[in-house]
């Protein structure tokens, strides 16, 4: 099966990544658990608009924040096991223009076995059998435009349950969903 995998918030820990640099640059002590809302890069910080956040995060020690992100523990290994099970990993992510090269570099450094990489806003345009995403603005579009597919909401404090999406809390649950679908087909 084609598995549409989001990066930030699902595979890569964007929240802790930007917080680490913000803590360093501005003397705060944010941790992942402090983030409860999608807009926290503005809501928790001194930035007045997301464009200010993106400007700051576009050059942190010579790379964008996206280059520096750590994968969530076990995420890359889980993806590799899905590939070993015969599935194709289709990375579908949204990035600012300044982060595109850093994203490809991140994928290579972490040896994420992606058959395809798509960087775009409307993730539903990419045809997959199963999707996993944490974006509260992405999930409704996937459910609407890909109603005949399995959409997994990676449960995070910044998203809410959505009719038509299966809740998963980690990659073990995601693999279980994929395995059940594989058994049925």
- Give me the tens of pLDDT residue by residue for the chain, a chain 185 residues long: 999 999 999 999 999 999 999 999 999 999 999 999 999 999 999 999 999 999 999 999 999 999 999 999 999 999 999 999 999 999 999 999 999 999 999 999 999 999 999 999 999 999 999 999 999 999 999 999 999 999 999 999 999 999 999 999 999 999 999 999 998 86
What is the gyration radius of the CA atoms in the chain, in angstroms?
16
CA-closest candidate to residue 95, choices 126, 79, 117, 72: 117
Q: How many CB atoms lie within 10 A of CB 143?
A: 18
Cα distance between residue 18 and residue 13, in whole Å: 9
Provide the pLDDT for residue 184.
80
Provide the pLDDT for residue 30.
97
pTM (2 decimals)? 0.96
Buried b (16+ CB within 10 A) or exposed e, 52-75: ebbebbbebeebbbbbbbebbeeb
Provide the pLDDT for residue 181.
94
Provide the pLDDT for residue 100.
97
């Amino acid at each position: 099966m084609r598995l549409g995998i989001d990066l930030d918030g699902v595979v890569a820990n964007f929240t802790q990544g930007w917080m680490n640099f913000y803590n360093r640059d501005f003397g705060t002590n944010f941790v992942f658990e402090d983030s409860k809302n999608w807009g926290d890069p503005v809501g928790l910080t001194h930035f007045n608009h997301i464009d200010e956040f993106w400007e700051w995060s576009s050059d942190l020690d010579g790379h964008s924040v996206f280059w520096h992100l750590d994968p969530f523990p076990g995420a890359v290994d889980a993806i590799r096991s899905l590939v070993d099970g015969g599935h194709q990993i289709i990375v579908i992510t949204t990035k600012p223009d300044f982060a595109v090269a850093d994203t490809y570099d991140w994928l290579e450094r972490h040896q994420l076995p992606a058959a395809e990489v798509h960087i775009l806003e409307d993730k539903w345009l990419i045809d997959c059998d199963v999707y996993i995403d944490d974006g509260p603005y992405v999930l409704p579009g996937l459910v609407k435009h890909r109603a005949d597919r399995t959409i997994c909401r990676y449960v995070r404090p910044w998203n809410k349950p959505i009719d038509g999406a299966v809740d998963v809390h980690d990659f073990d649950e995601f693999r279980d969903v994929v395995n059940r679908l594989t058994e049925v087909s």
